[in-house]
Structures are given as C-alpha cells and as structure tokens.
A and B are shown apart, each in its own frame.
Chain A
Amino acid sequence: MAEQAEFTVTEEQRELRTALHRFCERAHDEATVRRLMASDDGFDRALWARLGGELGALSLAVPEELGGAGGTVVDQAVAAEELGAALVTGPLLGTVGLAIPALVAAPASGTRDALLADLAAGTRTGALVAGLFAPYDGATAAAVTAAGGTLSGEIGHVPDAAAADVLLVAADGPDGPVLACVEPGVPGVTVTGRGSLDPTRRIARVRLDGAAGTVLATGDDADRALQHAFRTAGALLAAEQVGIAARLLELTVGYATQRWQFGRPIGSFQAVKHRLADMLVGVEQARTAALHAAWAIVDPRLDDPDLAVAIAQATCSEVAYRAAADTVQLHGGIGFTWEHPAHLYYKRAIADAALLGSAEEYRERIAAAVLDTLPDDLAVPRVATG
C-alpha cells in the first residue's frame, strides 16, 4: 500500500464498491431502512452478519492473522461511503468505526483476539463508552473510573450502545487510562435507550455501578488504542458523509430533471442548477478530505493523521449537512414529508455532524495546529504603504 501513490484507486476497491452497492440495492433499500428504524434493535442481526461474513465489509481494516481481510482504512473508507449512501442502519460507528480499531490497536490477548474476530465477522456488535462528542483528547475521552477491577460512571450519549453485545469502556484508572470490555448483562450495568433525532442510529445512556470488566489495555497502550479508534472513526464517518452527500446529489439531480414547473424542468433554472453545481463542488472537496484522512492514518508520512482527520471532519460535516438541507429545499413540499427519504438523510447528516465533535471543534484543532505554530520565516506579503 505504502508504495502506491495517494488517491489511487485499486481494482479491488472498485469491485468492493460495486458489490456493496448491489447488496444495498437488493437487501438494504429504503423500505428496509424504514422497517429497521421502527424495530426494537434498530437493525437486522442477520443482515449485519451477512455484511460481516458474506461481504467481509466489517473487517477490511483488520489484519489477516486476526481474522480480517488484511486491507487498510482506505478500503474501509470506500465501504463506509457506500454504506453511508444507503443509510445502512446498524452499529457501524460503534462496531466498525470505534470498537474494531480500538481492538486492532490494543495489545494482543485471548479476550481481544476472540472479541475482534466476532465483531469483524458480524456475529457480535459493539459500542465504545467514551466522550464521543468531541475530538479525541486523552485527558477527557475517559468518562468512567476504574478501581479495583470494577468500573463506575455514567455517559449520557453512547451511539449504538443499546443493542451492543459488548461495551468497550474508556476509563480513568489509578495508573492512567484503561481500556476495558464489559458484557452488558453483568450486574451494575444499565443501558437505557434514548429517543434519537436520527432514527437510523440509536443513542443510549450507559451507567456503570461497580461493573466487572476485563482490562484490555492500560497506560500508553490504552491511550494509543483509543486514539487510533477516534482517528479511524473520524475518517470513516467523514467517508460516510461523502456517501450521503453524493447520494443526495444524485437524487436531487434526478428530481430536478423530472419535475417541471413554468413549462420547463426545474433543473434548467439557474437558481436550482447553481445550487446543484455547488453541491457537486462540495462532494468533490469532501471526498478528497475524507480519503486524505484515511490515507494519512495508513501512512503517517503523508500527513499528521490527526490534522488530516480534523480537515476531513470540518469539511465533510458541513458538506453533508448542506447537501441534505439543499435536498429538502429543492424537493419543495415533497421534501418535507415523512414519506420522502430526504429527512432520513437530513437527520443522519445533522447527527453525523455532531458525533465525534463538531466542525467548529475540528476547526479549532486546525487553528491550533496550523495558525498557532507558524514558522518565523514565513514570507510576509508586500503591503502598499501609500
């Protein structure tokens, strides 16, 4: 991979995209999304297992010796874009975005290896109990306390936790950060589903009252695993946002071509056409930023991965949200109905823009990385003095 130039697309990636596209068209169409979002778990376990087993779409960035496809985060990003475009309802963020990368980066152990294999195969699902609504910060990511082998604390917003088979917990221990796993069924664990603005991705409250957990990593190991999880989730969420924006562009272009008013297709009006042109521009910029983040995680010589993820998150959150808002607007009244899919994407877009930190928070990171450490020898442009 490293020898390959950034942004090149392999034949395997093209095939992966096509395979997932077909799968989603057949097995995960809009009717399925609507059925699943009204179901108890919010997703279909059998379908999830097919995504993991038959399609291998959950384990692309898991090394072969750990039961994965031995690909990279770039491959996983290609999948995330397709799955995002189809609004796949399942614990993608919790399992593929966060739990799997945390385990991949954690030290080897029997528990880790077994868990990773199950999550990658799609036979179990996971969630990460951590401060997920901000960019990664080792000092604040852990919101639970670990003491004497048990975990205590409460986190109000944990995506994908309600139906998770296992909870990975970022905790603060007596000797620094701890990454532990907890079975939701053990005493002292309360997971309460909360109504979610985005019905395709559930949020739950997790309370741990002296719950027993298995420690997977401590100290620097735990910090490294969590950092890798946040980065990877950031890049994959950005890819999902690209998929959303691209699908909405396609949908709205189709509508603008078919819907006639004043004796012409509405897409022939410049007010409409120009908005769609801007959507296209947004999709292109967003796709670049998301891919760059994935590449930087795979090969940090290309860029500081955290900066690349910040660029991707700041860019893609805004692009996907703008695309969703414009889609509602350009569909007119129909775009505001429950029946039309626009609102499903709109809700996913606003939720994605908040998960893992807002565009503003990432811009703050960019400002700190770029503006606050400018080199002294930067050329100052010549300014006229009159």
Chain B
Amino acid sequence: MTPPSTAAEVETAAREVVGRHDPGTVPRAELFGALYDAGLAWVHHPVGLGGLGLSRGLQTVVDGVVTDAGGDRMFAVNPIGYGMGAPTVVEYCADRELVARWLRPLATGEEIWCQLFSEPGAGSDVAGLTTSAVPDGDGWVINGQKVWTTLAHVARWGMLVARTDPDLPKHRGLTYFVIDMTQPGVEVRPLRQMTGQAEFNEVYLHDARVLDAHRLGDVGAGWRVAITTLMNERTAIGGVTGRRSSGVIGEALGLWRANPDRQTAVLRDRLARLWTRAETHRLTLVRAGRTATEGRPGPEGSVSKLVGAELNQDVYEFCMDLLGPDALLYDDYEIRPDPGSTLQQRFLRSRANTIEGGTSEVMRNILGERVLGLPGEPRSDSDRPWKEVPRG
C-alpha cells in the first residue's frame, strides 16, 4: 500500500487505525502507539519517527478523526513532550535511533516530558540562567535550580538548558540537554498555584548526570536549540483549532444558556464581542495553517499565543460576571496535581495564560522587533561576559 499523501488519504488511514483500536475500549497508549507506527502522530515528521513527511497542517485531520471517535488529543496527554520536545529532538538530534527511542513512548504518553528552562533568576530573560553543566567523562554534571516546571513530578525526561561557559556573553555560553528526571540528584518539589493545585514544581539539580549523547546541538549553541522549543511552545499554546463555538467560548455559551435569569443587554453585547473575537481567532489559526507551506513555526505562533491568552482571560471574566454570587463559591483549595475542573478553577488558572510560555509583554516585544522590525531596546548585557551582568 502506498503511504497516504492527501488529506483524504490521511483521513482514511486515521479512520483505519481508530477502527482497529477503538478509543472507547483500548488503553490510550495502545491507540497512540498504533497512530505513531502508522506515521500519524506528527504527519510532518520523517517516516519512522511517527510521521509521513507531509505538511504539518494535515495533523488536524488526524486529530479530528481521533477526537470524533472519543479519543484524546495527543497534545493534551503529553503537552510539553508532544508540542515542544518532539520537534526539538527531531531537529537537533542526529542519532535517529535515539530519537525513535524517545519519540514512541512520548507519543503514547508513557513517558511524560517537561521543560527545565525557567529559574528563580531567569524567566523572561531565559538566556540569563545560572544552572551549570560541567563536562565529566562521557557526560556532564548538572547543578542548579529550576522553577515553574510543569509536569516535572510525573516526567521521565526534561529539556534542560544549562550554562557551560560563564565567561561568554549570556546567549553564547548555553548548552541544551535531555535529562533523565528519574535519576538521583533530581529533586522535584510541588509548587502550589493560586488555584490551589500544583501542576508545576521546583526542580533542584545536585550533581545530576546527563550523557553527552543526550546533548542537542553543539556545546555553546544551546540558545538556538532553545529558540526552536520556545517557538513551538508558542504555536502549541496559541494554536488549538476546534469547531466554531467550542472550547472556552463554548463554555461561556453553555453558561449563558443555562442562566436566562442573569442575561442582560450589556452582558449580551459583551458575549457577542467575545464570540466574534474567538471566531476570528479560530479562523486566523485555520488561515495560518493553510498558508504555512512549510512546517517551521513562524510569527503566527506569537500572534495567536498573545490573542488566545488574553481572550481566555476575558471569556472567563465574563463567565464570572454572568454567574454573579455563585461565582464566589469554590469547592476546596486542597492541593492537587491536576489543573482542576470547575469554572472557578479555570478562571483562576487563566491568569497564567499571559505569563506562561512568554508573558504578553514579551510577546509584544517579539512581534514588534522580529515581525515588524522595530529597533530593540538599548541593552547592557549582550556583549558582556555573563558572570559580570547584574542579576536580581
């Protein structure tokens, strides 16, 4: 059988896999494994690495077939691994066997990935990070502290950026690794969020080891690799195209319908405005998918990350206003590892949308400088050795 190449063929192939592995009855890992083997995990990946070498936009066809049949989106199961880890290892790891070894359990959700970028002293300014990697035999020894690390408590692998040369200016002294999170020397402590839950963590690295074979890109070239992850993060966060009136705006519509006594003309206008914004955002993602002839994430990722984040917040604020006094009820602030499922929890959670994956201020800087070509701000840190730059 010739491999699928058109949208219709991809759809047929996906239906075939879903038919043999009914999402309602087989374990998730089995279905996702079969999709990986059929090249439907990331259709744009090379054959043998969960893909078919097709255009990235066709993945939505597969996702649609899987979710229509009641399956999960792969992104939802292992978001950081699926959306950011996979594209980074495919682009920067030359050892294809190792890539395959990483990707299949990543796609099935059996091995969760996390992203060890942010540190207490380096958030928006990720390139200013302190965590060190020192060569040692066939690998490296890592020391430092990471923070806000989503899913670190369940992760098998972490994408880690560490400083390998403090004497160079900050962007040039960084190297990128994939680190085993289950080894001694990696200590993960839950960090509680304003919702009461703990989806993210602090990670302490004490003489943790990483094989040199697990380095992505050259020594000192870690920033370039990190950019791949960050660009994919923005595309992944901003870019979920569901059906019209689905997702967050769908929740608002459901709430509106269920509360006829609280409907007013003012709220109706607000909801119509939000619906229109949600719809143009959704259609813009469709458009971006159609116009992206190649798979590399471009500025649309940053645009949709910014728009999606602010839209989520505004929709949840609307929901809270619509609910009135009921909005003030909260079931419990017990600490849990999951994101929570009530509207009030999601309302609180939405405050993170304009911080995680790059703050909205940083997104606007990126759009202004990288897309519009506006001049950068005067800076004092780019040419000085990292160790001489003030931090706080």
Quick check: is A164 within 8 A (CB to CB) of the other chain?
Answer: no
Quick check: is A380 within 8 A (CB to CB) of the other chain?
Answer: yes
- The answer to whether A273 and B250 have CB atoms under 8 Å apart is no
Quick check: is B378 within 8 A (CB to CB) of the other chain?
Answer: yes
Residues of B within 8 A of A382 (CB): 341-343
- The answer to whether A267 and B374 have CB atoms under 8 Å apart is yes
Quick check: is B281 within 8 A (CB to CB) of the other chain?
Answer: yes
Q: Closest approach, in angstroms, between the C-beta of B198 and any C-beta of chain A? A: 18
Chain A positions 307-336 with a Cβ under 8 Å from a chain B Cβ: 311, 314-315
Which of B251, B272, B345 is packed against the most chain A CB atoms within 10 Å? B272
Partner of B280, one of A6, A264, A289, A367: A289
- The answer to whether B271 and A273 have CB atoms under 8 Å apart is no
Quick check: is A285 within 8 A (CB to CB) of the other chain?
Answer: yes
Residues of B within 8 A of A288 (CB): 280, 283-284, 287
Residues of B within 8 A of A265 (CB): 374-375
- The answer to whether A378 and B250 have CB atoms under 8 Å apart is yes
Contact status of A381 and B365, CB under 8 A, knowing A257-B373, A285-B280: no
Which of A9, A267, A284, A382 is packed against the most chain B CB atoms within 10 Å? A284
Quick check: is B269 within 8 A (CB to CB) of the other chain?
Answer: yes
Partner of A384, one of B258, B329, B369: B329
Q: Total interface residues on A, using CB and 8 Å?
A: 50
CA–CA, A287 to B280, complex, Å?
9
Residues of A within 8 A of B284 (CB): 284-285, 288
Quick check: is A281 within 8 A (CB to CB) of the other chain?
Answer: yes
Q: Closest approach, in angstroms, between the C-beta of B122 and any C-beta of chain A? A: 20
Chain A positions 32-77 with a Cβ under 8 Å from a chain B Cβ: none
Quick check: is B389 within 8 A (CB to CB) of the other chain?
Answer: no
A344-386 Cβ-contact flags toward B at 8 Å (1 or 0):
0000000000000000100110110011001010111111111
CA–CA, A39 to B331, complex, Å?
70
CA–CA, A110 to B44, complex, Å?
55
- The answer to whether A7 and B291 have CB atoms under 8 Å apart is yes
Q: Total interface residues on B, using CB and 8 Å?
A: 57
Q: Closest approach, in angstroms, between the C-beta of B226 and any C-beta of chain A? A: 22
- The answer to whether A7 and B290 have CB atoms under 8 Å apart is yes
The prevalent SS among residues of A at the interface is helix
Quick check: is B76 within 8 A (CB to CB) of the other chain?
Answer: no
Chain B positions 320-348 with a Cβ under 8 Å from a chain A Cβ: 323, 326, 329-331, 341-346
- The answer to whether B368 and A384 have CB atoms under 8 Å apart is no
Contact status of A276 and B331, CB under 8 A, knowing A315-B280, A367-B269, A381-B319: no
Quick check: is A291 within 8 A (CB to CB) of the other chain?
Answer: yes
Partner of B368, one of A273, A286, A376: A273
B280-299 Cβ-contact flags toward A at 8 Å (1 or 0):
11011011001100000000
Residues of B within 8 A of A257 (CB): 373-375
Residues of B within 8 A of A378 (CB): 250, 253-254, 257
- The answer to whether A270 and B365 have CB atoms under 8 Å apart is yes
Partner of A268, one of B255, B256, B361, B375: B375
CA–CA, A292 to B343, complex, Å?
32
Name 7 interchain pairs, CB-CB below 8 A, sorted by A: A270-B377, A273-B374, A315-B276, A370-B253, A370-B272, A383-B255, A383-B329
